[in-house]
Amino acid sequence: MPRRIAITGFVSLLAALLCTSIVPVAFATATEQPEEELMIDHFDPETGKRVIPNERCLTCHGDQQQQTDVRDDGTPVQIFVHSKEIEASVHGSQSCTSCHVTIDRVPHRKAPAVIVGCIECHRDTWEKHKNDTDDKYARLKVVNEQIGSYMQSIHAQPSKLDQSRTNATCYDCHEGHNIGELGSIQRAEKRLKNPEVCGRCHEKELEDYRTSDHGKAVLEKKDSESAVCSDCHTTHDIASPETDKAMLAITKNCGDCHEEAQRTYFKSYHGQVHRLGYTDAAKCHDCHGGHSVKGEDDPTSEIHADNRLENCRNCHEEANDNFLSFWPHGDAHDRENYPGLWAFRVFMEILIFSVMGFFWIHVLLWLYREVMDRIQGKGFVEDLSQPDLVYFRRFPVVWRWIHFLFAIATMTLILTGTTLLFSHTAWAKAVVEFLGGIRMEGIIHRTAAILWLGIFFIHLAIATSNIWRQRKTFEWFGSTSLIPNMKDLQDLKNMFKWFLGRGPRPEFSHWTYWQKFDYWAPFWGATVIGASGLILFMPDKTSLILPGWTFNIANLVHAEEALLAAIFLNSVHFFNVHFRPERFPMSTAIFTGVIPIDEFKHDHRLEYERLVAAGELEKHLVQRPSRRVSLVASFITTVLIMTGLTLLTLVLFGLITIPS
Amino acid sequence: MENMKRDKTVHRGVCHLLLAMLALVLPAAVSAEPSGQAMSFTCAGCHGTDGASVGPSMPAIAGMDPEVFVDAMQAYRQDERNASIMNRIAKAYTDEQLKEMAWFFASQRLRLFPQPHDPVLAEQGARLHEEYCEKCHEKGGRPGDAGTLAGQWMPYLHYSMEDFINGKRKWPRKMQRKVDAAIEAAGDKAIPALVNYYGSQQ
């Protein structure tokens, strides 16, 4: 054993001996705080992480006397939090570090950053408690829905200036330490504070808002009923204001308070486009201004008479003073304020109800009569032992083409036009989307309208030239003339008698009275729909000569007349031509141009007899159309009938579901 | 012959005993590193049994905050803290071992020994502490995340403060500002007053 170690051992032993005598003495004088916890008790036994009680944080952060501290770079920083507020908030029982998870040492060894994530905890807690029988955590459902909305919002997008952070996060808007329960005082106060909170980032908008009627009510009069930012922009589902989503939501939200204004807006063309989900037409804020919205009497208001035209010109670049007399919220049901519009509506509705009422009764009675006749073995029945071989030519090729194109154009117009009229329906939205959006729909509608009017005028030209060529011999009230005469009135009367079983079926000439009605109705329609359509087609041009309120009238009558045509054609016209038992399921005469001679004899007895007497019948007789021509005609007729019935269904569905 | 036989028997007995001892000791020795407690025995020479230093310039480490312990040892290991021999000792331990020892000392109760002190200075120190130190060294400097000051051996506190002031030890965040303010307020008496205050605590 080396000597040095031996000595060391000896000294150690001596020291040990000394200790045995000294240490007890030392222990006798030493004090212990047995009531105090051991140091390890300040650590979580499971995770080994330090447990930092809230009081420890509040030593500095709850000190009213020293509400600020200085950062490492010497700049001041506000560190004070209201402990009482936290305790009274929904998070009152949470520890500071359950949110401030990066804080692990007190005093902080490094400059602490506010790194707080709210979402995970709220999601996990809801996941854990969503099946609870009590409703202690029920509100978390809404919180999680809002989180979902927030995550889709512009606020959750990375900031353009700094991609490492989002545009805004939970605690930028919510006062993290002062979140109240539903109905709490914190929430009431929060509403009044909303503009200031948003204005911390959106400074310019807040400045505009301050000058608005909303802003004055909220910020000056402390009227929490008036609109704050989130009422229009939503709380969490906030989209960039340039997006359709935001513009649609904002306009919809205006209506939450301004119900009447929204109702009348939706009646206008602007509103109809909006309700279809498109932002191309004017929305509330386009005319009223967004953040700086004011009443019309305020000279700085965008809707003040002096400023309004400028707004119109944002879209209608050539708008002139006549635009000012347009009623953006014109209400055809408001007799007091819009008597002219009201009168047009009443007239159009009387027209629709009387025409439809009359013809539907006509249809039902006719159906009744033919069914009764059939039961009694009467009426026109195809003779199967003698199939039709001889046909009577009723329509030359040009009329057949005209009818075909007219039908296609009309149906296209009905489809595209009624989407606006019934913009509240899902089918309307689907149709517009299918067609490629509202602008494409506008193009299609206008193209069809030009085609429709074109056909109408071409027909007029042909008819006029035909009459001109036969001007020497043309009998205005002759048997082949379409001009209504007294016999038509007589026929109508006798038809009703026949319907009711009080007389024989009247005998008709070349054109029956219902055929004449079908012929002349488009003249009225072309005038009303065509004229109103042209006004709406070119508002900038028409306003050069017409006052702005004619747009309101045009919009109203265009829609009402179109509705009448759509319902009439697809129900009454279809019945008279195709669906009455004698004709069911269809007549293809307008496409083949011919009808069996027996049918002609039955339906146009007088003309048949006249032709026979004059020896002219032979001129009009043709062979039975080929099988292929029959099939093509049946096919086209079937497609058009099915389309017409579909349109009728959509229109009736739209009418029934129209919001009151 | 007889002797030889007895010798053999003795040898066999000793062998058996050794084997039995090995059987008992080896598994323990092989299977585990020395425990925090075992490693901490080596500290007792200076820091007292279980870290209860009997002073006067050796700090008590019983009941010490474990993270503060690890921070201190790591600082010694990296020669970031003015040391006499701790820098050499600290280098012998892994992070894991430091943690083990930290937990051991954290599970001990701090024992305080009465120290001679100046009550007037201590009184002044109490006021300075309340004004400048309490927020970090809470409860009068009781053991915590800012170390152990209350009842700590006064010479050790003196040396430590000298190290800070002389730039031999890195100031923790904000501490220099506070100490400067205390010195500004109480002059040269500030540090002795504070040391006396801490030494006065039991």
Which residue in chain A has the smallest CA separation from B145?
A106
Confidence of residue A8 (pLDDT cuts 50, 70, 90): very low
Residue with tokens 């602007």: A270
A143-157, A235-249, B126-140: lowest mean pLDDT where?
A: A235-249
CA-CA distance, A237 to A152, in Å (whole number)?
A: 7
Confidence of residue A499 (pLDDT cuts 50, 70, 90): very high
Q: What is the pLDDT of residue A378?
A: 83
Distance from CA of B152 to the nearest CA of A (A): 12
Sign of CA dihedral A345, A350, A353, A354: negative
Domain boundary among B106, B136, B155: B106
Do B142 and B93 fall into the same domain?
Answer: no
pLDDT tens for A546-564 read 999 999 999 999 999 999 9
Angle at which helix B119-128 crosses helix B175-186, to 10 degrees, equals 130
Number of Cα atoms under 13 Å in the Cβ half of residue A218: 26
Question: Do the chains contact at A38 and B63, CB–CB below 8 Å?
Answer: yes
Cα–Cα nearest to A600, from A611, A613, A586, A585: A611
State the residue range of the domain holding A174.
160-238
Domain boundary among B80, B106, B132: B106
Interface test with A, best of B173, B178, B179, B200 (most A CBs within 10 A): B173
What 3-state class would DSSP assign to A78?
strand
Q: What is the pLDDT of residue A155?
A: 95
Number of structural domains (chain A) is 2
Under 8 Å CB-to-CB from A642, ≥6 apart: which residues? Answer: none
Question: Do the chains contact at B142 and A36, CB–CB below 8 Å?
Answer: yes
Contact of A28 with chain B, judged by CB distance below 8 Å, is answered with no
Do B126 and B80 fall into the same domain?
Answer: no
Say yes or no to pLDDT of A644 above 60.
Answer: yes
Distances (CA, A) of A58 to A44, A64, B153: 21, 10, 30
Structure tokens at A107: 């005093």
Which residue in chain A has the smallest CA separation from B62?
A39
Q: What is the pLDDT of residue A23?
A: 42
Q: Is the residue at A596 inside a domain?
A: yes
Which residue in chain B has the smallest CA separation from A12?
B45
Distance from CA of B11 to the nearest CA of A (A): 25
CA-CA distance, A531 to A511, in Å (whole number)?
A: 29
Provide mean pLDDT across the span A141-151.
Answer: 94
Contact of A385 with chain B, judged by CB distance below 8 Å, is answered with no
When the pLDDT of each residue in chain A is averaged and rounded to a whole number, the result is 90
CA of residue B175 relative to chain centroid, distance: 21
Question: Do the chains contact at B136 and A32, CB–CB below 8 Å?
Answer: no
A107 cis-preceded (ω within 30 degrees of 0): yes
Which residue in chain A has the smallest CA separation from B176?
A72
Which residue in chain B has the smallest CA separation from A65?
B131
Do B152 and B173 fall into the same domain?
Answer: yes
Nearest by CB: B106 against A22, A40, A70: A40
pLDDT tens for A421-441 read 999 999 999 999 999 999 999
Domain boundary among A219, A238, A257: A238
Q: Name chain A contacts of B114, Cβ cutoff 8 Å.
A: 29, 31
A391, β-bridge pairs: A596, A622
Contact of A64 with chain B, judged by CB distance below 8 Å, is answered with no
Q: What is the pLDDT of residue B25?
A: 53
Please give the backbone phi and psi of residue B198, each rounded to the nearest 5 degrees, phi first.
-65, -40
Q: Name chain B contacts of A27, Cβ cutoff 8 Å.
A: 111
Number of structural domains (chain B) is 2
Distance from CA of A1 to the nearest CA of B (A): 23
Task: Give the helix/strand (H/E) hosting A32.
Answer: strand A31-32
Contact of A37 with chain B, judged by CB distance below 8 Å, is answered with no
Report which residue type is found at B112.
Answer: L
Provide mean pLDDT across the span A1-8.
Answer: 45
DSSP of B82-149: --SSHHHHHTTS-HHHHHHHHHHHHTSPPEE------HHHHHHHHHHIIIIITTTSHHHH-SBTTB--
Q: What is the pLDDT of residue A74?
A: 86
Question: Do the chains contact at B67 and A105, CB–CB below 8 Å?
Answer: yes
Contact of A105 with chain B, judged by CB distance below 8 Å, is answered with yes
What 3-state class would DSSP assign to A168?
coil
Which residue in chain A has the smallest CA separation from B64?
A39
Share above pLDDT 90 across residues of chain A, in percent, rounded to a whole number: 75
Say yes or no to pLDDT of A26 above 50.
Answer: no
Question: Do the chains contact at B109 and A38, CB–CB below 8 Å?
Answer: yes
Which residue in chain B has the smallest CA separation from A23?
B54
Q: Is the residue at B126 inside a domain?
A: yes
pLDDT tens for A376-421 read 988 777 777 888 889 999 999 999 999 999 999 999 999 999 999 9
Q: Is the residue at A332 inside a domain?
A: no
pLDDT tens for A298-318 read 999 999 988 999 989 999 999
The radius of gyration of chain B from alpha carbons, rounded to an integer in Å, stands at: 23
State the residue range of the domain holding B62.
36-106
Which residue in chain A has the smallest CA separation from B104?
A40
Distance from CA of B12 to the nearest CA of A (A): 28
Between A379 and A236, where is the model more confident?
A236
Mode of pairing for the β-strands spanning A594-596 and A68-70 = unpaired
Provide mean pLDDT across the span A13-29.
Answer: 43
Question: Do the chains contact at B63 and A111, CB–CB below 8 Å?
Answer: no
Q: Is the residue at A19 inside a domain?
A: no
Q: Is the residue at B99 inside a domain?
A: yes
Between B33 and A479, where is the model more confident?
A479
Do B132 and B164 fall into the same domain?
Answer: yes
CA-CA distance, A452 to A406, in Å (whole number)?
A: 6
Question: Do the chains contact at B143 and A39, CB–CB below 8 Å?
Answer: yes
Q: Is the residue at B171 inside a domain?
A: yes
Provide mean pLDDT across the span A560-587.
Answer: 95
Which residue in chain A has the smallest CA separation from B174?
A72
Q: What is the pLDDT of residue B68?
A: 96
Question: Do the chains contact at B108 and A38, CB–CB below 8 Å?
Answer: yes
Beta-carbon pairs below 8 A across chains A and B: 72
Nearest by CB: A59 against B49, B54, B135: B135
The radius of gyration of chain A from alpha carbons, rounded to an integer in Å, stands at: 42
Do B71 and B128 fall into the same domain?
Answer: no
Q: Name chain A contacts of B202, Cβ cutoff 8 Å.
A: 31
Residue A569 is classified by DSSP as I
Domain boundary among A238, A273, A289: A238
Residue with tokens 């002795």: B192
Please give the backbone phi and psi of residue A51, each rounded to the nearest 5 degrees, phi first.
-95, 115
Nearest by CB: A38 against B107, B114, B173: B107
Q: What is the pLDDT of residue B9?
A: 56
When the pLDDT of each residue in chain B is averaged and rounded to a whole number, the result is 87
Q: Name chain B contacts of A50, Cβ cutoff 8 Å.
A: 67, 145
Question: Do the chains contact at A26 and B202, CB–CB below 8 Å?
Answer: no
CA-CA distance, B160 to B173, in Å (whole number)?
A: 16
Q: Name chain A contacts of B142, Cβ cutoff 8 Å.
A: 36
Q: Name chain B contacts of A18, Cβ cutoff 8 Å.
A: none
Q: What is the pLDDT of residue A6?
A: 45
Provide mean pLDDT across the span B15-33.
Answer: 57
Q: Is A436 left (phi over 0), alpha (psi -120 to 50) or beta?
A: left
Q: Is the residue at B163 inside a domain?
A: yes
Q: Is the residue at A16 inside a domain?
A: no
Q: Name chain B contacts of A42, Cβ cutoff 8 Å.
A: 65, 144
Q: Is the residue at A443 inside a domain?
A: yes
A241 cis-preceded (ω within 30 degrees of 0): no
Domain boundary among B106, B130, B164: B106
Structure tokens at B133: 């130190």
Confidence of residue A185 (pLDDT cuts 50, 70, 90): confident
Confidence of residue B10 (pLDDT cuts 50, 70, 90): low
Contact of A71 with chain B, judged by CB distance below 8 Å, is answered with no
In CATH, what number is assigned to the domain containing residue B148?
A: 1.10.760.10
Q: Name chain A contacts of B181, Cβ cutoff 8 Å.
A: none
Q: Is the residue at B55 inside a domain?
A: yes
Interface test with B, best of A20, A39, A57, A103 (most B CBs within 10 A): A39
Report which residue type is found at B27.
Answer: P
Q: Is the residue at A254 inside a domain?
A: no
Question: Do the chains contact at B138 and A59, CB–CB below 8 Å?
Answer: yes
Confidence of residue B178 (pLDDT cuts 50, 70, 90): very high
Question: Do the chains contact at A33 and B110, CB–CB below 8 Å?
Answer: yes
In CATH, what number is assigned to the domain containing residue A621?
A: 1.20.950.20
Domain boundary among A222, A238, A254: A238
Nearest by CB: B113 against A29, A106, A108: A29
Which residue in chain B has the smallest CA separation from A30?
B113
B60, β-bridge pairs: none
Cα–Cα nearest to B101, from B55, B146, B34: B34
Q: Is the residue at B28 inside a domain?
A: no
Provide mean pLDDT across the span B77-85.
Answer: 90
Structure tokens at A501: 């079983």
Q: What is the pLDDT of residue B20?
A: 62
Question: Do the chains contact at B113 and A26, CB–CB below 8 Å?
Answer: yes
Do B97 and B135 fall into the same domain?
Answer: no
Q: What is the pLDDT of residue A33?
A: 53
Contact of A35 with chain B, judged by CB distance below 8 Å, is answered with no
Provide mean pLDDT across the span A491-508.
Answer: 96
Q: Is the residue at B10 inside a domain?
A: no
Question: Do the chains contact at A50 and B145, CB–CB below 8 Å?
Answer: yes
Nearest by CB: A72 against B108, B172, B173: B173
Task: Give the helix/strand (H/E) hosting A390.
Answer: strand A390-393
Contact of A161 with chain B, judged by CB distance below 8 Å, is answered with no
Q: Is the residue at A594 inside a domain?
A: yes
Chain B positions with Cβ closer than 8 Å to A: 49, 52, 54, 63-67, 103, 105-114, 134-136, 138, 142-146, 172-174, 177, 202
Do B53 and B90 fall into the same domain?
Answer: yes
Distance from CA of B3 to the nearest CA of A (A): 30
Q: Is the residue at B136 inside a domain?
A: yes
Q: What is the pLDDT of residue B152?
A: 94
